[in-house]
Amino acid sequence: MLKIPRTIRDISEEDVPGNSSAMEQRRAKRSARIIEGFKLFQNENKSEFPFIFGAEINIDNDRLWDLFISLCEELPNNAALLFGFYDNDLNYGRYTEKERIIFELSKYRREISEDCHLELGLIHHTESKLIEVFIAEAKYIKFWGVDEISFMGIMSRFNLSETSDIEFIDEYPKAVYPLRTIVEDVADTFEIITNLQEKFTE
């Protein structure tokens, strides 16, 4: 089973009626393929979205940050930060030096890895090229890119295999807790977003 953030818990029998679809999904999760690995898809609409392939990647939570940084290597030096509260509109930062963005994000490494109210990623998007690395709220990575060979090399370095029947934590009911209720010395989600807005959107 995948090592998930401390902020995500299975729903309990007390959370939902026993005959509900959520309870059926809870039972089905016992045999779910929520494991390390990734699934790959090819882009069939390159004229509108200029990426070659995309991937969704599960990795143990204690390795999420390192994989994120490695995948950011696929971006050119000029990139923009996407960030925001889960289920809200994302902030789209101005293009700036990638290393400057990563330096700022590194201050919130733990929060980015475990705060399920926070989503963010880096993007480089032109008329001819789209590359994006994005950490979803359930703390797996979504990737869109143009160099599949290089991407597969990163997957190999992390011992991640393509798995066609892989599943993801947000395909099943879950309970999410604020990181600050578990760890005291972390930044609040609002604080992080406000700081990133000041650094990259103003």
Q: Has residue 65 been placed in a domain?
A: yes
In a domain, 2, yes or no: no
- C-alpha 86/C-alpha 81 separation (Å) is 15
Host domain of residue 34: 8-200
- Number of domains forming the structure of the chain: 1
As a whole number of Å, the end-to-end CA separation of the chain is 42
Cα–Cα distance, 184 to 120 (Å, whole number): 22
Residue 1 lies in a domain: no
The segments of the chain whose pLDDT lies below 70 read 12-31
Residue 151 counted as domain residue: yes
Nearest residue to 5 (alpha-carbon basis) of 125, 138, 190, 196: 138
CA dihedral 95, 98, 104, 105 (to 10 degrees): 100
The C-alpha atoms of residue 89 and residue 85 are separated, in whole angstroms, by 8
pLDDT of residue 10: 82
CA distance 57 to 39: 7
